[in-house]
Structure 1
Amino acid sequence: MMANALAWFWNERFWLPHNVTWADMRNPDGVTFPQAEDLYMAFPLALGIFVLRIVFERCIARPCAYALKIQAAGPRKAQSNAILEKVFTSITKNPGDKHLDGLAKQLDWDVRTIQRWFRRRRNQEKPSPLAKFCESMWRFMFYLYVFVYGLRLLSQSTWVWDSRQCWYNHPYQPLPSDIQYYYIVELAFYWSLMFSQFTDIKRKDFFMMFMHHLITVSLISFSYIVNMVRMGSVILCMHDAADFLLEAAKMANYARYQKLCDLLFILFALVFFVTRLGLFPFWPVRSTMFESWEIVGPYPSWWVFVGLLVLLQCLHVIWSYLILRIACKLLRKGKCSWCKLPHCCTYPRTTAATSRAAQTTTSERATGPKARRAGRATARAMARAAPTAPTATCSRERPREPTSTEMPAAAGAAASHGPGLGLHTTA
Structure 2
Amino acid sequence: MTSFISAWIWSERFWFPENVTWADLERPPPGVDYPQLEHLLCAFPLAVVIYLLRRLFERLVAKPCAHILQIEAGVPRQAQPNDALERVYRSKTSQDTRQLEGLSKQLDWDVRKIQRWFRVRRNQDRPSMQKRFCESMWRFTFYLGIFIYGLRHLWVSPWMWDLRKCWYNYPHQPLSSTQYVYYVSELAFYWSLMFSQFIDIRRKDFMIMLVHHLATILLITFSYANNMVRAGSLVICVHDASDIFLEAAKLANYAKYQRLCDGLFVAFSMSFFIARLVIYPFWIVYSVLFESWEIMGPYRAWWLLNGLLLLLQVLHIIWFYLIACIAIKAIFKGKVSKDDRSDIESSSDEEIYSNSSRNPNQTLKPKDSRHTGNLNGETHDH
Counterpart in 1 of 2:266? 266
For 1:182, the equivalent position in structure 2 comes to: 182
Higher relative contact order (CA 8 A, sep 6+): 2
For 1:160, what is the secondary structure of its paired residue?
A: helix
Cross-structure match for 1:41: 42
What are the Cα deviations for residues 357-389 of structure 1, in whole angstroms up to 9, with x where unaligned? xxxx9689769xxxxxxx9xx99xxx9xxxxxx
The 5 A counterparts of 1:243-392 are 243-334=243-334
Deviation track 1:111-155 (CA, whole Å, cap 9, x = no partner) reads 554343223112112110111111111111000001111111111
Distance 1:102 1:266, change over 3 A: same
Query: What amino acid is the match of 2:165?
Result: Q
SS at match of 2:30: helix
Equivalence for 2:131? 131
- Structure 1 stretches of 5 or more lacking a match? 336-360, 368-374, 384-400, 407-423
Cross-structure match for 2:74: 73
Shift of the alpha carbon at 1:182? Answer: 0.5
TM-aligned CA distance change 1:11 to 1:114, over 3 Å: closer
Shift of the 426–51 alpha-carbon distance from structure 1 to 2, 3 Å rule, reads closer
**In 2, Cα distance between equivalents of 1:53 and 1:61:** 10
**Cα deviation, residue 8, structure 1:** 2.0
Any residues of structure 2 matched to 1:188-207 within 5 Å, and which? Answer: 188-207=188-207
Query: Which residue number corresponds to residue 20 of structure 1?
Result: 20
Structure 2 residue matching 1:3: 3-state secondary structure = helix
Q: Which letter does structure 2 place at the counterpart of 1:42? A: A
* C-alpha contact (below 8 Å) 1:94/1:118 kept by paired residues: no
Distance 1:201 1:181 in 2: 29
Aligned partner letter, 1:47: V
Q: CA deviation at 1:29?
A: 2.6
Matches within 5 A, 1:58-137: 58-90=59-91, 96=97, 102-109=102-109, 113-137=113-137
Q: Deviations over 1:31-64 (max 9, x none)?
A: 1111111111111111111111111111111111
Tell me the SS of whatever aligns to 1:170.
coil
- For residues 177 and 100 of structure 2, what CA distance do their matches in structure 1 show? 64
- Which residue does 1:54 correspond to in 2? 55
Contact 1:78 1:120 in 2 (8 A): yes
For the residues of structure 1 that align with 2:256 and 2:94, how far apart are their CA atoms?
A: 29
Q: How far off its partner does 1:161 sit?
A: 0.8
CA distance in 2 between counterparts of 1:18 and 1:157 reads 27
Change (3 A) 1:19 1:331: same
2: CA distance, partners of 1:241 / 1:53: 20
User: Residues 99, 226 of structure 1: CA spacing in aligned structure 2 closer, same or farther, 3 A cutoff?
Assistant: closer
Q: Which has the larger radius of gyration?
A: 1
- Please give the alpha-carbon distance, in whole angstroms, between the structure 2 residues aligned to 1:149 and 1:103: 57
Consecutive unaligned residues in structure 2, runs of 5 or more: 336-351, 373-382
Q: Is the 8 A contact 1:154 1:160 kept in 2?
A: yes
Residues 363-416 of structure 1 show CA distances to partners (whole Å, capped at 9, x for unaligned) of 89769xxxxxxx9xx99xxx9xxxxxxxxxxxxxxxxx9447x9xxxxxxxxxx
Structure 1 Cα separation of the partners of residues 126 and 257 of structure 2: 21
Separation in structure 1 between the aligned mates of residue 313 and residue 277 of structure 2, nearest angstrom: 8
Whether the 8 Å CA contact 1:46–1:188 is kept in 2: the answer is yes
RMSD: 2.6
- Residues of 2 paired with 1:251 and 1:363: CA distance? 33
**1:334-356 deviation line (CA, Å, top 9, x unaligned):** 18xxxxxxxxxxxxxxxxxxxxx
Q: Which moved more, 1:266-275 or 1:250-259?
A: 250-259
Normalised by the length of structure 2, the TM-score is 0.86
* 1:218 and 2:218 matched: yes
Give the Cα separation in 2 of the matches to 1:228 and 1:91. Answer: 43
